[in-house]
């Protein structure tokens, strides 16, 4: 989405600003790979400073984007949600045709430590979705990574 369109959406939403309960960054693909994600997050944060964010990520670029996340998700009710979509490395590889499960777990753990060192109140959740007979079951906040 071009930043101009995002700016226009923000202007239109300003009319109902007090009714906005939260803003989520999710969808088809990894939000952190968008070429202007830095500008988009900062633009929305500047327009809606008191609205909580939830940023969904597959965790692959978490390490490279840690500074951006820590700079943007600053409220105590902001959340970073890493979606693994598998309970173990074997099922992850089968579902995703890739072997990134352990890398995402390690990176998520490093992010959690960095967040703690910076004394931020950002909530960090690790989500696992398990497919069973065509249905998805979601588990939020699996264990502690610190």
**8 vs 5, 11, 54, 77, 98, CA distance in Å?**
5, 5, 21, 26, 38
CATH architecture observed for domain 3-139? Alpha-Beta Barrel (3.20)
Predicted local confidence at residue 117, as pLDDT: 65
> 81: closest CA among 140, 11, 10?
140
pLDDT in tens, 48-96: 888 888 888 888 888 888 888 878 877 767 888 887 777 788 888 888 8
Predicted local confidence at residue 136, as pLDDT: 44
pLDDT in tens, 17-53: 777 888 888 766 788 888 888 888 888 888 888 888 8
Task: Place 139 in a pLDDT band, splitting at 50, 70 and 90.
Answer: very low
> 69: closest CA among 25, 102, 100, 105?
25
**25 vs 1, 46, 57, 76, 132, CA distance in Å?**
12, 16, 9, 17, 26
Predicted local confidence at residue 138, as pLDDT: 42
Looking at the DSSP bridge assignments, the partners of residue 76 are: none
Task: Place 120 in a pLDDT band, splitting at 50, 70 and 90.
Answer: low
Predicted local confidence at residue 26, as pLDDT: 77
* Of 1 and 130, more confident: 1
Task: Place 140 in a pLDDT band, splitting at 50, 70 and 90.
Answer: very low
**110 vs 8, 49, 132, CA distance in Å?**
36, 27, 31
pLDDT tops 70 at residue 146: no
pLDDT tops 60 at residue 8: yes
């Amino acid at each position: 989405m071009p930043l101009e369109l995002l700016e226009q959406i923000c202007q239109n939403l300003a009319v109902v600003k007090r009714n906005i309960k939260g803003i989520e960054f999710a969808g088809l693909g990894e939000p952190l790979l968008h070429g202007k994600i830095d500008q988009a997050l900062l633009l929305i944060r500047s327009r809606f400073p008191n609205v909580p964010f939830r940023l969904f990520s597959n965790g692959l670029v978490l390490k490279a984007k840690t500074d951006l996340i820590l700079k943007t998700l600053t409220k105590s009710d902001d959340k970073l949600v890493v979606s693994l979509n598998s309970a173990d490395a074997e099922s992850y590889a089968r579902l995703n045709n890739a072997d990134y499960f352990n890398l995402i777990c390690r990176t998520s753990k490093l992010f959690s430590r960095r967040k703690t060192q910076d004394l931020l109140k950002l909530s960090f959740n690790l989500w696992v979705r398990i497919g069973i007979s065509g249905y998805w079951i979601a588990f939020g906040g699996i264990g502690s990574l610190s």
